[in-house]
Amino acid sequence: MSMHSPAHPSQSRIAAGILAALILSLPAAAFGKQFEAWGPAAVEAAVNSAAPDGCPIESPNGRSLYIASTRSGTLGGNDIWVAHRTNDASPWSAPENLGAPVNSEFNDYCPTPLHGNWLLFVSERPGPGTCSAGPGKGDIYIARFIPSLGWGAPRHLGCDADGTGPNFPGGEFGPSLVTTSSGTFLFFSSTGYGADMNIYMSRLQTDGRFGPATLVDELNTEYADFMPNVSRNGLEIVFNSNRPGGEGLQDVYTASRASTNDPWSELVNVGTNVNTAGNETRSSLSGDGERLHFGRDGEIYVSIRNKVTGGD
């Protein structure tokens, strides 16, 4: 199988510049929604397999569901797959492997689809320009799908150590991009330079590169806090943590804020409709905020909540 080498730091600047152009075309976020509590979680039967499945996240239009899985047909490790549907009420199709060059013989996971057929994801593929490599030590990449050509070669987002991007020597997980009136921000979790898993934020700079990643202090503890996902309007975040006081090994937590200039509120465990004695991981919000996808002990689940007030 052919392998695409990770990009040189100068290429990462090109990738970030492309991403900056994409961001300028994003639709305006909807503000002011209020929701009921999350309903009982249900297994997403159509997308699960006998192998471990996780990292679920909808495309911005809700018509595709990206996942990571070790099921039969992978290119050698954890691969990224995608299922489709025609509308919100339709069942998901059987997941399809994205193939090379997004997937490799190494572990590829934490997909995050963006507008314009762009995809952020994490990969453990080694090579020149990587900041970390090895089991659990992936870096963040970006790739784009062009219908007439397929997936382009993934571009590495650069390293914190040399100032070219957000990736640390420790492993990165759960990239989440949000554009607000305050700027464009990349949230993710990492062990950084050897610490516990914490949530970080990196701001897109005017030169098209992501700036130094900083800890989001109000979300982190001395325990593992990881795989954040931020709502489209930047006012709500979900992530998983093994901090004490939860229902099990890892639970889904949430926080909100009144504006994107404010700190995050006190964290709230989303409750027993979602969390159990098992492991709830990599939760993600749909674009309209009405669905919460997450993994639990190797299977993919979804919880639904109803909108009370606010526009689409």
- Please write the tens of the pLDDT for every residue from 223-247: 999 999 999 999 999 999 999 988 9
Residue 7 has pLDDT above 50, yes or no: no
pLDDT of residue 248: 84
Unique residue bearing structure tokens 């995608």 = 82
Q: What is the mean pLDDT of the chain?
A: 88
Structure tokens at 130: 């990587």
Quick check: 21 pLDDT over 50? no
- Say if residues 204 and 183 touch (Cβ distance below 8 Å): yes
Q: Name every residue whose Cβ is closer than 8 Å to that of residue 245 and which is 6 or more positions away in sequence.
A: 269
Please say if the pLDDT value at position 17 is more than 70.
Answer: no
- Split at pLDDT 50, 70, 90, the class of 15 is low
User: Between 3 and 146, where is the model more confident?
Assistant: 146
Other Cβ atoms closer than 10 A to 101: 17
Which of 15, 11, 30, 63 lies closest to 179, judged by CA? 30
CA pair distance 240, 106, nearest whole angstrom: 24
Distance, in Å, from the CA atom of 288 to the CA atom of 280, rounded to the nearest integer, reads 22
Concatenating the DSSP letter of every residue in 129-149 gives T-S--STT--EEEEEEEETTT
Contacts of 216 (CB under 8 A, 6+ apart): 187, 198, 199, 200, 201, 228, 264
CA distance 208 to 192: 22
Please name the residue that has the structure tokens 């057929």: 117
Q: What is the pLDDT of residue 16?
A: 52
pLDDT in the model for residue 32: 57
pLDDT, residue 225, reads: 96
Could you tell me which residue, 112 or 5, shows the higher pLDDT? 112
- Report if pTM > 0.85: yes
Three-state secondary structure call for residue 2 = coil
Distance of CA 270 to the CA centre of its chain: 19
